[in-house]
Amino acid sequence: MDCLEPLACLRFGSQALAFAISAVFSLTAFTCDSAQGQENSEPVSFVNDVVPLLTKAGCNSGVCHAKAGNGQNGFRLSLLGFEPGEDFESIVKDSRGRRLSLAEPESSLLLRKASAKLPHGGGVRFQEPSAEYSTLVNWIRQGASNDYETASQLVSVEVQPNHASVNPGSQQQLKVIARYSDQPQRDVTSTALFESNDNAMAHVTPGGLVKMMDLPGKVAVMVRYQSKVSVFNASVPLGAEIRELPPSLNFVDDSVFANLKVLGIPPSPICDDATFLRRVSLDIAGRVPTDEERTAFFASQDANKREQAIDGLLRSSEYADFFANKWTAMLKNRRDDASDITSNFVFHAWVRDSLLANKPYDQMVRELLAATGTVIANPPVVWYKRVKEPKQQVEDVAQLFLGVRMQCAQCHHHPFERWSQDDYYSFSAFFTQVGRKPTATRGEDMIFHKRGTAAATNIKSGHVLKPAALGDAIPAIASDEDPRLKLADWMSSPSNPFFAKAIVNRYWKHFFRRGLVEPEDDIRDTNPPSNPELLGALEHHFIASGFDLKSLVKVITSSNAYQLSAEPNQYNIADSQNYSRYYPRRLQAEVFLDAIDDLTSSRTEFPNLPSGTRAIALPDNSYNNGSPFLKVFGRPENESVCECERVQSSSLAQSLHLINAKDIKSKLATSNGRADRLAKSDKSSEEKIRELYSVAFSREPRADELNAGIDFLAEPRVDAAGNPIDPQKANQEIFQDLIWALINTKEFLFNH
Amino acid sequence: MPMGGTVGTQVEIAITGESIEGAGELLFTHPGLAAVRKLDANGQPEANKYVVKIAADTPGGIHEARLMTRLGISSSRVFSVGTLSEVVQATPNLTLATAMELKVNSICNGVMSVKSIDHYTFDAQKGHRYVLNCDSRGIDSKLDAVLIIADAGGRDLVVERRGKPLDFTATNDGKHFLKIHDITFKGGPAYFYRLSLQELPSEAPLPTFAATKTVSSFSWPPDGLAENSLSSETESNNLPAHAQKISLPCDISGSFYPAADVDTFEFTGTKGEVWWVEVASERFGRPTDPTVLIQHVSVDGPKEQLTDVAEFSDIASPMKPSTNGYAYDGPPYDGGSLDIIGKLVINDDGLHRLQLSDLFGGTRNDARNVYRLIIRKAAPDFALAGWGLHMELRNGDRNALSKPLALRGGITVALEVVAVRRDGFDGVIELVMKGLPDGVTAQGLKIPAGKTRGIMLVTADDKAPKSLSYVAFFGRSIVNGVEVERPVQMAAMAWPIVDSWGEIPSPRLVTGLPISVTGAEFAPISIAAKEKKVWEVTAGQKITIPLQHTRRSEFSGTVLQLKTSGAGFEQVPRFDVSLASDSSEVTLDLAALKTPPGDYLIAFYGSAVAKYQSSQEPSAKEKSVPKDTADIVVSEPIAIRVKPAEAK
């Protein structure tokens, strides 16, 4: 994926980049009077004065002259000025040097375009007069020299203050200081770029003035100057008095409640047993509780019965099915050809069995990364069938297992991160010795380690790079050692700064709807977590547990923070990042389909799978084609490593499907289905209503619901002409209608 | 069904298959197995039912059975023999509620249905060890078995999907479920299995489960090799500092275990020595890919200087195998192997380090991935495998024609034979068959010097009587001045493949080579030279050979395109002969072929679609609608002598 093409970068939710681009667009032409205009007598540095001005003005943004290909109308600049040497060539020498006029600087094409004296698609970028305009004129007048080799090197950028508590509705001015290798520090506030990581919480002006909105929580402003970034972290307190907090059951509660206390956001109370059981069953096993589970849970007087319920769910095969469904989507287990069926089934099964056996996460990832052999003998090699190119491999591994998006660094220095192209290609070097041998099955290779020195070439510099981990050196790898094993060693090291953090954040999001870092696979210094203490504690717990995924799920779900009610109080209704209440979520497509099947006592039949297979156990994306339900409710096609490929938003098509689709109707009318059975049953109306509520919502009906239900069952049914219809048919229709109504309630549609 | 039995017992079996109506004898590859027709209450033989007596001294493992039918000998099916008691899956057991009880230390013979999971139960005792195994692929079944042990509530506890046994120690007393299904939930009569449940002492090694052999295994072992190796590797020998000292020659057994295992050996070599390195592991049926790296070690102060001497991986396929694409591009049999046979030349005196590892072993922990490493002085030799010739048929038709050698009168059948040459052997290999049925002749288009492919032509005279013989098929050559004979190990499909685009063929080695003559049916067409003689031609000249067609069938189409097989004549351009004519001729241009003087044996071959009419008492419907069958048509062998051109 080429980050210089905005559409490609935006495809899978690269929020940060989207914001960056919009921020660049919002810049107005320079008219400020506080910038450091250069006097004629002071030498102007191309690297440290000119390029930052071009960046601030947006000239070298991805949609302007740094556009992939040939820039804009043949004038090409490096993205955000990351390659000043190339920019100099482009400005001064390309097109036979016509862009500058040393004899008459103001007549330079560069300035006449930028000030819109000549038609310019980008409009006015530099007002004349302005300090910035003068700086450019002076640089040209001084001979438009290139100081790429000699300019003072930018060492760091500091934002002041770097953190603060700022009340809702108030403001904070930021100041940006640049430090150089051999010259005094400079205030570069006017030429720095600012970017809020949550515009709903804080807006920042081009001049660095941060304006808080009304939402409480944590917000960060990324500050970029040339290739350096810095972050301002703001805490926005609500400031409400907190009289009581739920008891803390573990370190998760310690961190969540401490944060709420600092922010002054009173949490909702603990949810009731019925809500808990339904919630945790849906979140861990992807299904509503079974009759046996409900009965046993409600009958239990044990003080630890919630914990026992969690343990039971973690032992269930549905836990493995549900999480295998999650993982195989991100690992791109997709069927492009009918012959893919074997590889897709075995790969899904490998993930599912690993989860069932609670294989340590680091071991699982190791088996995948360094997979060798054949599909049947070693199913993780299927990943190398799906993800064939080293470029794809490095990007998927970084995003999925490390929470680092490396795509941008393939072509240029990462705009929001410290990663350079050398970092990208050094990381990809781990995958350069993956050998392939053909098998009898077309499209399937045997994967092996090809002896040789692992190295990748930076396509821009031509430098040949040995494997290096992100921000970490790796000891020399002998030619007969598989570099992927060394990568796996590095990843599973307890000191790895990404690996455990990425998975605990991903799992946190699974249970809380929002990651501590959001998006969950974009962990970087410039996108800080909303609760760093909690993220650190989870990371520590996970490593200490031996990368135990079930233990991670248990510590999260057994916390009172997870068990808070979804009902907001008068203070926390606006809170969407501090976990002061449970954030309801629409059931995902497969879970929803299974829940409807459970409620209607019907089963959805899937090709090549035994009758009774639940939708959460489907091995690949091919089943979406035959199921409009799965498609309309957003089941992913397993094309992306990003979980955002799953569509969780609501749509008119979903509503229409629930109202009128054939498959819903046929489930309601299933012979010997629940409606049919209840219609024929001798049970009392009350018992029937109770059964329906129990299955649909895992709770007893309230008195008003019970009465309304009983009344509904007693209503006479007439045909279009107003004549009473056959009692047996009427009875069936009544129960079909009632179940249909329950399916369409928010309580059923959502995990809450 | 069942597909096996207990030694010292007799078992009633039922057979199914195509064209087995009126089947006669059921023949086994081991004399300890004997079958008689099952008789009904009236003393009449029941159709397709036999009683098999398994003598008490019959070796455990797999044996093969074939059926004599009206059309001749059938393809082979595996019959297993063991010591555990056997039962047959009775009623459908597709749910927990209908699970069938499987006694500990017994075997159930079952058949998997489509989109189904077969359920069994057994009573486990806490702390006891149970081994669950499913024989399927190794006994010619299409089933890729998934084994699951579940608790009393049916919840999965452990799963095995890679064809291994499931080694399970119970954590609770009481009822457990066993679930078995195909990896993609396929099913049908070809998806049979033998599910065994054994209790073993906790320290006992896993039993070995016999299976058919892969085609690649025909090149193992080298002739005269001792059954057991002379020594074994000693872990931990991963690092050079812990290298195991050996001297050459050597014969070492070991295993690629644990994950990413590298076995390092060191020996002293002398400049000019030549050794041959052979490793077997994949040919044992293991999912491994051994690789060997040999380096010369010199010491330069505190540092070692390593110089690559040799790197070995894979035994090349004797001929390019099929890629199973749309068009035919090679036989569906791969005689190559991921194992190693390689030549090692020592260039410098001194210490040499050999590293042996498994290219597939980076993350896998399986002590059963064993190997045998042999380093020897050159022992030139060869190993041979054969199978029915395949070729492109009409419109991408990929019928696998690895049929049993049940010959119809007047037919010539071509067998493709490949050689793995060992330790530099490059001599001519003659192909020979002995013990043929009456009226059957065999002539080999020899494997030329240095080449790896030859053809054997088996011809049944159109008057050949119905018969059956187990023939000896071997290659003969001169090695180091001594005549040696090596068997041709035949390979066949585990099951017929209608379309290898939709289903990947599963070939294996078979035991023995029975050849039968039907005596009842005839080849649709026979093509032979008009005269049975040696056709003489001067090098650089042309020769025209008149061909005679003996036609016994109608055909779909009127033209048969023929290619030429046989060393020196493979480049003869394809030519057409008329299927409507009783004769034709072919002109061979020796100038274009540049075939040197010598004696040659060639044959022409192509494919035709015949209108097959069964010789069986036909029903009116069958008679009116003959069945199109794609046949490979091979001419009788033709001998050609190329004489030297006269000096000018």
Q: What is the per-residue pLDDT for B617? A: 60
**Do both A105 and A202 map to the same domain?**
no
Q: How confident is the model at residue A707 (pLDDT cuts 50, 70, 90)?
A: very high
**3 state SS of A308:** helix
- pLDDT for A116 equals 87
State the average pLDDT for chain A.
89
Question: Is B478 a domain residue?
Answer: no
Helices (H), B468-533: none
In A, residues 515-534, which contact B (CB 8 Å cutoff)?
none
Name residue, tokens 């006994």.
B139
Are A118 and A208 found together in one domain? Answer: no
The residue from A491, A514, A531 where one domain ends is A491
Closest CB to B363 among A320, A345, A366: A366
According to the model, what pLDDT value does residue B238 have? 86
pLDDT per position as a tens digit, A86-138: 889 889 888 888 898 888 898 999 889 888 888 888 888 888 888 889 999 99
Q: Same domain, yes or no, for B219 and B231?
A: yes
B514 belongs to a structural domain = no
- pLDDT reported for residue A402: 95
Query: Are residues A696 and A647 part of one domain?
Result: yes
Cβ–Cβ of B156/A342 closer than 8 Å?
Answer: no
Residue of B nearest to A481 (CA): B260
CA distance A705 to B286: 64
**Of the residues B168, B200, B232, the one at which a domain ends:** B200
* Confidence at residue A213, expressed as pLDDT on a 0 to 100 scale: 92
Number of structural domains, chain A? 4
Structural domain contains residue B250: yes
Q: Are residues A721 and A635 in the same domain?
A: yes
Residues A136 and A168 in one domain: no
Query: Where among A113, A141, A169 does a domain terminate?
Result: A141
Using the beta-carbon criterion (under 8 Å), do A482 and B362 form an inter-chain contact? yes
Exposure letters B586-609 (e unless 16+ CB within 10 A, then b): bebbbeebebeeeebbbbbbbbbb
Rounded Cα distance, A399 and A392, in Å: 11
Q: Whole domain around residue A45: which residue ranges?
A: 6-141
| B284 shares its domain with B242 | yes
Residue where a domain stops, chosen among A208, A236, A264? A236
B326 CB burial (10 A radius; 0-12, 13-18, 19+):
exposed
Strands of the A193-196 sheet, one edge to the other? A163-165, A228-236, A217-225, A193-196
Determine phi and psi for A146, rounding to 5 degrees.
-100, 120
Q: Are residues B33 and B117 both part of a single domain?
A: no
Please give the DSSP secondary-structure letter assigned to residue B89. -
> A80 and A210, same structural domain?
no
State the first-to-last Cα distance of chain A, in angstroms, to the nearest integer. 37
A213 assigned to some structural domain: yes
Within-domain flag for A404:
yes
Q: Indicate whether B340 belongs to any domain.
A: yes
Which residues of B are less than 8 Å from A435 in CB distance? 359
Say whether pLDDT at A31 is over 80: no
Substitution target from A287, A368, A442 for chain B, most B beta carbons within 10 A? A442
CATH number, domain of B53, equals 2.60.40
Same domain, A632 and A706: yes
Q: Residue B114 corresponds to which amino acid?
A: V
Does an H or E element contain A480, and which?
none
Structure tokens at A7: 């559409």
pLDDT of B220 reads 97
The shortest CB-CB distance from A370 to any of B117, B162, B362 is to: B362
Q: Which domain holds residue B27?
A: 4-82
In chain A, what percentage of residues exceed pLDDT 70? 94
- Closest alpha carbon within chain B to A381: B360
| Whether residues A722 and A646 fall in one domain | yes
Q: Among residues B379, B397, B424, which one ends one of the domains?
A: B379
Q: Checking phi first, is residue A239 left (phi over 0); if not, alpha (psi -120 to 50) or beta? A: left
Query: Which residue in A442, A446, A610 is closest to B323 by CB distance?
Result: A442
Q: Are residues A604 and A744 in the same domain?
A: yes
Contact present, B606 and B561 (Cβ < 8 Å): yes
pLDDT higher than 80, residue A16: no
Identity of the amino acid at B196: S
Say yes or no: B223 and B169 in one domain: no
Confidence of residue A183 (pLDDT cuts 50, 70, 90): confident
Whole-number percent of chain A with pLDDT over 90: 67
Asked if B269 and B361 sit in the same domain, the reply is yes
Residue B30 in any domain: the answer is yes
Q: In this predicted structure, what is the pLDDT of residue B256?
A: 95
* CB neighbours of residue B74 within 10 Å: 24
CA B403 vs CA B70, B71, B189, B491, B500: distances in Å: 15, 12, 20, 10, 15
Of A309-318, A623-632, B293-302, the least confident: B293-302
Shortest CA distance to A267 belongs to which of A237, A242, A239, A238? A242
Residues in chain B closer than 8 A to A349 (CB atoms): 146, 159, 161, 183
pLDDT at B394: 54
Which residue of A366, A367, A372 is in closest CB contact with B361? A372
Q: Could you tell me the pLDDT band of residue A36, with boundaries at 50, 70 and 90?
A: very low
Task: Check whether the bond before B448 is cis (ω within 30° of 0).
Answer: no
Q: Determine whether the interchain pair A346/B183 forms a contact, defined as Cβ–Cβ distance below 8 Å.
A: yes
Is B53 in the same domain as B177?
no
* Secondary structure E strands in B29-173: 33-39, 45-54, 61-69, 72-73, 77-82, 85-88, 100-101, 106-111, 118-124, 129-135, 145-150, 156-160, 166-169
Answer whether residue A177 shows pLDDT above 70. yes
Give the ranges where B504-560 is alpha helix by DSSP (H).
none
- Cα B337 to Cα B519: distance, rounded to the nearest angstrom: 40
Q: How far is CA A311 from CA A319, A553, A558, in A?
A: 11, 10, 10
Question: What is the tally of structural domains in chain B?
Answer: 4
Structural domain includes residue A619: yes
Asked whether residue A219 carries a pLDDT value surpassing 70, the answer given is yes
* Rounded Cα gap, residues A44 and A142, in angstroms: 8
User: Is the per-residue pLDDT at A627 higher than 80?
Assistant: yes
Instruction: Based on the fold, state whether residues B645 and B592 are members of the same structural domain.
Output: yes
Residues of chain B positioned with their CB less than 8 A from the CB of A335: none
Report residue A365: phi and psi, to 5°.
Answer: -65, -40
B248 and B196 inside one domain:
no
DSSP B361: -
User: First vs last Cα of chain B: how many Å apart?
Assistant: 74
For residues B140 and B509, what is the distance between their CA atoms, to the nearest angstrom?
11
Closest alpha carbon to B16 in B44, B48, B41: B48
pLDDT in tens, B403-433: 789 999 999 999 999 999 999 999 999 999 9
Residue with tokens 């060869």: B382
CA dihedral A660, A662, A665, A671 (to 10 degrees): 170
List, in sequence order, every residue forming a beta bridge with B420; answer none if it has no partner: B383
Q: What is the CATH number for B560? A: 2.60.40.10
Q: Are residues A590 and A686 in the same domain?
A: yes
Domain end among B57, B82, B107: B82
Nearest to B261 by CA among B356, B132, B337: B356
Q: Which residues of chain B are under the pLDDT cut of 70? A: 392-402, 500, 615-624, 648
Give the three-state DSSP class for B152: coil
State residue B502's pLDDT score.
73
User: Does residue A184 share a domain with residue A89?
Assistant: no
Whether the bond between B136 and the residue before it is cis, its omega within 30 degrees of 0, is no
Residues A194, A174 contacting (CB under 8 angstroms): yes
Alpha carbons A170 and A164: distance in angstroms, whole number: 12
Measured between CB atoms, does A438 come within 8 Å of chain B?
Answer: yes
Based on the fold, state whether residues B144 and B181 are members of the same structural domain: yes
A524: in domain: no
> Residue A129 CB: number of other CB atoms within 10 A?
12
* A377 with B185: Cβ contact below 8 A: no
Quick check: is B442 in a domain?
A: no
- Count the residues in chain A: 752
Whether the CB-CB separation of A558 and A312 falls below 8 Å is answered with no
Q: Does A340 touch chain B (CB under 8 A)?
A: no
The pairing of beta strand B4-6 with beta strand B77-82: parallel
Q: What is the pLDDT of residue B392?
A: 66
DSSP symbol at B208: P
Quick one: what percent of chain B has pLDDT higher than 90? 76
Mean pLDDT of all residues in A487-513 = 96
Residues B222 and B344 in one domain: yes
Residue A2 has pLDDT above 80, yes or no: no
Confidence tier at A286 by pLDDT (50, 70, 90): very high
Residue A415 lies in a domain: yes
Among candidates A203, A200, A196, A195, which has minimal Cα distance to A216?
A: A200
Same domain as A486, residue A448? yes
Spell out the residues 6+ positions from residue A684 whose beta carbon is closer than 8 angstroms to its own: none
Q: CATH no. for residue B310?
A: 2.60.120.380
Say if A184 falls within a structural domain.
yes
Q: What ipTM goes with this model?
A: 0.89
Residue A28 resides in a domain: yes
Alpha-carbon distance of A410 to A408, in angstroms, equals 5
Contacts of B365 in chain A (CB under 8 A): none
**Statement to judge: residues B233 and B192 lie in one domain:** no
For the stretch A377-423, pLDDT in tens is: 999 999 999 999 888 999 999 999 999 988 777 777 666 677 888 88
CB contact under 8 A, A372 and B181: no
Is A366 part of the contact surface with chain B (CB cutoff 8 Å)?
yes
Burial (CB < 10 A; 0-12, 13-18, 19+), residue B239, is exposed
Preceding amide of A390 cis, omega within 30: no
Listed in sequence order, the residues at least 6 apart from B276 whose beta carbon sits closer than 8 Å to its beta carbon are B341, B342, B343, B344, B375, B376, B377, B378, B379, B422, B423, B424
One domain, residues B69 and B128: no
Name the residue facing A376 among B144, B291, B321 (closest C-beta).
B144
Asked if B209 contacts B195 with a C-beta cutoff of 8 angstroms, the reply is no
Domain presence at residue A470? yes
Q: Is some CB atom of chain B closer than 8 A to the CB atom of A318?
A: no
pLDDT of residue A6: 31
